[in-house]
Chain A
Amino acid sequence: MKKTRDFILTFLIVGSLAVFGILFLVLPKDSDVSEEENRILASAPGLSEITGAGFREDLAAYLADRFPMRNTFVRAKAYSELALGKRENNGVVFASDGYLVSRAKTDAASCAVAAEKAASTVGICENAAAPVYFFLTGRTADIESARLPSVYDGSGDAALHKAVFDAISASADTTDLTETLKSAAERGEFVSYRTDHHWTVYGAEYAYKAIVEKLGYTPRTFTFTDAADGFYGTTYSASGLVSFGGDTIAFAGFDGMDCFALTAYSRSEDGYSGRDIGFYDTSALSAKDKYKAYLYGNFAEVTVRKTTEERQKLLIIKDSYFNCVAPMLAADFDLDVIDPRYMREEDVRARLLDPGYAAIIMLFGVGTFTE
């Protein structure tokens, strides 16, 4: 009996080690891109570099990135943390109603770094030719704070938010959308995704209303249609691929939405190259990152023009949060939408001096400054 047991034990354990080692070496490495992680997976270091300094790290990274059943193991670790009663994994809190909420570093040093990033972002608008209005939205941890565990201490999040807000409001007319969104969330409105760090179109609508009211107009109403469900976004990935149900992506619509020309510009060798896009990329709905359906993702610049008439032009400086606000604002304004992370800084500054804009709208989420 003992011999049988010893044999089974040895066979299974040593066998598992050998099998996974062999599978790693032998299995084809099909995709270089990890959809879950939004990055390129490591490739095999050349044997010629075996004496090089980085060889061991490269080999370790290659083995870990291409380990057989990698996502299963990541998920197993996450679920075992859950089973141990920890309501958090990889810095993502498992809040109520299936919400996955990212934590950020909120110590004094991190708050200072975030504040500095915010200050330098708003700082590019120093000599703008048109009035600048900054709109700031909080992180999901601030907006959905009612869903977090009762013992969770939000003072760090509040300090981070305040540091960023103070840095921005020192230089620009700033509207903080966080309280509005927080109240909406408490009323049960679906303003934040459960599995992604962005806001939903319903949250984005509050931003639209705030922008339009700031400019002195009356907000329109839109029709919202569900476009896809089964959206598992960034916090799903960060949490270790844990989820309690996916999200639904909805599109905002209005009459006359087909009379528009949108062009997306990406950086090329000596300038920017453009291609035609629309408000919504329906092909993104069948991939993992469904949020990319809004405005086809992030580019150096997206120009939105109504083909049938000339209207006032707004310059938008933004991160990815604006992508779902774009169609709503486009109902009444032509837009030049710039993402400063993808456009050359001198081009951004030059554009700010352009006198052709009715106003310059900056829209950012606090989370962008903590990256």
Chain B
Amino acid sequence: MVFASLEFLFLFLPLSMIVYLCCPGRFRNAALFALSIVFYAYGEPVFVALMLFEIVLNFFIGIAVGGKKEHAKVWLTVGVSLDLAFLFVFKYANWIITSATGGDGIKWLALPIGISFYTFQIISYLVDVYRGDSSVQKSFIGFGAYISMFPQLIAGPIVKYRDIEAQLGGRKMTLEDVSAGISRFVVGLGKKVLIANAAGAGYELFVKNGSGTALSSILGMLFFAFQIYFDFSAYSDMAIGLGRVFGFTFNENFNYPYEAASVSEFWRRWHISLSTWFRDYVYIPLGGNRKGTARTVLNLMIVWTLTGVWHGADIMFLFWGLYYGVLISAEKLFLSGFLEKHRAVGRIWTLIAVFFGWILFASSLSEFPSVISGVFGANGLFAQSDLYDALRFLPLLAVCVIGSTHLPKKLYSAVGEKTAVSFVSVAALLLILFLSTAYLVNDSYNPFLYFRF
């Protein structure tokens, strides 16, 4: 099930809130676990078994890792290897098979939704228990609730066990949390349905079906950059908001990444839970930057290759990861001093670098050359046919640009505490909910010229 759907908004969510509210405190983890299984099974009726199996397996391995010191490391290795093996098989095996043999691969070996996220969460739990940063979760229900909880199961953020360990043990459903959480959720819903989807339509129109001119290609890729930002950050907003409703505080996953003044800073503001996961569980164990320049660069390239392919089993994600590995290494070695002193230049540098990064990310291997050459004007600067559509999409572009800066939040903070404004914001949230519903309903609106029977 996806958050931005009528089934989730009007059937599953109110039902789950009512069930959770009516549950006495000590059964709330169980309720959350059960609801999350239903949520996941709705989208993955077959592979829900895989997730349940991994939960059971890692629950027991976690206990073993937290047990006798002599055996902890062995159990950690077994656990992490098995979890990565599952991820590898279900995510990458088919890619390897089809690349090697050119055939169709194994049909039933499809990618289960959320496996990239819950695998990393499980590994973070095992490693944290081994390192002593977290205590063992002795309740199967508690562990299951942590791994499967539906607010963050499908699209993150990657929640580290130690960050919510206390909340798993006991939490209250307060009016303040529910109100703040549901507000955050509605804002995320609006970002996804009203902005991200519209930007996605712009990308489709200007790049996929466009004239190939520089105007069309650049405009289209800008819309992709905004689509992926609003889409992904919206999902994080919705996840964080829903988490709050159920009494959990998740860490922020995005921090206005398009305001970054260096590529390194961009990655401290984009998908924060992923980059910190790679930092804590790959970069630092490899030695980080403490083993000399050459080793630092190697470590960075390893981390970025892995980050790239984590996003998907495609060669373009590999290139995308390598691209950032090179840029970040370059910044670490030569550019960081200059960029820190000239933030304005840094911001331009970052936006350009990220723009080209998205071309790598969005295009397939065969599409990439034509998109890049289009951007550089190989098909002309613009065509007459571009103008009508470009003008149509201009207001959306303005909304995207402003929406990705601090400006809206600054404005709201300045006036939001005033009573009148805080009540007006309730009306605004209702309007966002109303319009999001309208756009979702319109997706199924399909009039025919002649009667279809």
A interacts with B: yes
Least distance between A362 CB and chain B CB atoms (Å): 18
Contact for B384 among A40, A155, A238, CB less than 8 A? A155
Which residues of A have CB within 8 Å of B444? 60-61, 64-65
Q: Which of A69-77, A163-171, A273-281, A304-312 contacts B (4 or more CB under 8 A)?
A: A69-77
Complex CA distance for A51 and B439, rounded to whole angstroms: 29
A-B contact pairs, 6 of them (CB 8 A): A2-B422, A3-B175, A21-B14, A38-B452, A73-B438, A90-B445
Asked if B392 and A86 make an inter-chain contact with CB atoms under 8 angstroms apart, the answer reads: yes
Interface residues, chain A, with chain B CB atoms under 8 Å away: 1-3, 5-10, 12-14, 16-18, 20-21, 24, 36-40, 51, 56, 59-61, 63-65, 67, 70, 73-74, 76-78, 80, 84-88, 90, 107, 149, 151-153, 155-156, 197, 234, 237-238, 240, 298, 320, 367, 371
Least distance between B313 CB and chain A CB atoms (Å): 24
Given contacts A73-B441, A84-B395, A151-B388, whether A37 and B429 have CB atoms under 8 Å apart is no
Which residues of B have CB within 8 Å of A61? 444
Q: How many A-B residue pairs have CB under 8 A?
A: 152
Asked if B452 and A40 make an inter-chain contact with CB atoms under 8 angstroms apart, the answer reads: yes
Complex CA distance for A85 and B186, rounded to whole angstroms: 24
B423 within 8 A of A: yes
Interface residues, chain B, with chain A CB atoms under 8 Å away: 5-7, 9-11, 13-15, 17-18, 42-43, 45, 175-176, 178-180, 182-183, 186, 209, 383-385, 387-388, 391-396, 419, 422-423, 426, 429-430, 433-435, 437-453
Complex CA distance for A8 and B17, rounded to whole angstroms: 17
What is the chain B residue whose CB lies nearest that of A67? Answer: B441
With a 10 A CB-CB cut-off, give which of B6, B175, B178, B430 has the most chain A CB atoms: B6
Complex CA distance for A69 and B442, rounded to whole angstroms: 12
Main SS of the interface on chain A?
helix
Contact for A16 among B17, B433, B449, CB less than 8 A? B433
Complex CA distance for A64 and B437, rounded to whole angstroms: 10
Complex CA distance for A12 and B432, rounded to whole angstroms: 13
Asked if B391 and A21 make an inter-chain contact with CB atoms under 8 angstroms apart, the answer reads: no
Which residues of A have CB within 8 Å of B175? 3, 6-7, 10
Given contacts A9-B183, A61-B444, A155-B384, whether A17 and B13 have CB atoms under 8 Å apart is yes
Complex CA distance for A67 and B15, rounded to whole angstroms: 17
Asked if A80 and B438 make an inter-chain contact with CB atoms under 8 angstroms apart, the answer reads: yes
Complex CA distance for A13 and B422, rounded to whole angstroms: 15
Asked if A70 and B441 make an inter-chain contact with CB atoms under 8 angstroms apart, the answer reads: yes
Least distance between A89 CB and chain B CB atoms (Å): 9
Asked if A38 and B10 make an inter-chain contact with CB atoms under 8 angstroms apart, the answer reads: no
Least distance between B385 CB and chain A CB atoms (Å): 4
Complex CA distance for A24 and B437, rounded to whole angstroms: 14
